Amino acid sequence: MFPIYWTVTTSFKVAVDVTHGHLIPWYDFAPDWKGWRSLGLSPDRIFETSTARAEFLLRFENSILMSIGASLAAIIIGALAAYGLSRFDYKFGPWRNKDISFFFLSQLILPPVVLAMPFLVLYKELALLDTRVGLIMIYTLSVLPIVIWIMRDQFNAIPIELEQAAFVDGCTVWGAFIRVVPPPRAPRRVRTLP
C-alpha cells in the first residue's frame, strides 16, 4: 500500500517537499492543491472549463484501458499456455516442455529497445501505429513470458488427481480447466436442527 500512499501524498506536495522526501502530511509538509490546480482538478477549479483537465483525463483513461486490456489478454493467453505446458507433454524437435518454458523465461533477458525498430516497421505495415490495439498487443507481449512462467508453477502445484476425477465425472479438458483449476471455495457450514 505504500506506493499508493506515496503517490497520493506526492500529489499534494510542492517541488521542495518532493525533493526533500517529506512523508507525513501536516507534520513534514503542508499539503497544497497546487498540482491539482494546474490540472483543473482542485475544489476551486473543478467546475471551470479546463483543457488541461480534459487532456489529463483522456490520458488517464487511455492508461487505464491499456493496462486492463493488456493484463486481461496476458492472463487469458498465459493461463492457456501455462496449463498446456504443465499438463501435456510436447516435443518440438529436440525441445521438450522444460525447454519451451525456459524459452519463455529467456525472453525477459532481451532488452526491449532491440525490438523497437522491428515492431515499428511491423506496426507501420499493419496500420497499428498510434492505436490502442497496437499498444495493448505490445504490453501483452512484454508481460506474457513472466505470466506463463509464474502460472505454470501454479498449475504444477494443483494435484493432477483433481483433474482426473473431473474426467471420470465426464468433464472434457476445457471443463476440467474451468472447474478444477480455479481455487476451490470454502465449504459451506450445514446447520443442524437442535
- pLDDT tens, position by position, 32-58: 888 888 888 888 888 888 888 888 889
Residue 193 has pLDDT above 70, yes or no: no
- Averaged pLDDT, 102-128: 89
Query: What b/e sequence results for 117-132 when a residue is b if at least 16 CB atoms lie within 10 Å of its CB, and e otherwise?
Result: eebeeebeeeebeeee
Q: What is the mean pLDDT of residues 73-96?
A: 90
- pTM over 0.75? The answer is no
Instruction: Please name the helix (run of DSSP H) or strand (run of DSSP E) that holds residue 152, with its range, or none.
Output: helix 132-157
Helix axes 132-157, 51-87, angle to 10 degrees: 40
The pLDDT, as a whole number, for residue 171 is 87
pLDDT at 112: 83
Domains of the chain as residue ranges with CATH: 2-51 (no CATH), 67-180 (1.10.3720.10)
CA distance 138 to 69: 11
- The rounded mean pLDDT for the chain is 87
Q: Is the pLDDT of residue 121 over 60?
A: yes
Cα(38)–Cα(44) distance, rounded to whole angstroms?
A: 11
Tens-place pLDDT, residues 137-192? 999 999 999 999 999 989 988 888 888 888 898 888 888 888 877 655 555 665 66
Instruction: Please write the tens of the pLDDT for every residue from 6-36.
Output: 989 998 998 888 888 888 888 888 898 888 8
What is the pLDDT confidence band of residue 70, given thresholds at 50, 70 and 90?
very high
Q: Give the pLDDT confidence score for residue 105 in this predicted structure.
A: 82
Alpha-carbon distance of 113 to 60, in angstroms, equals: 25
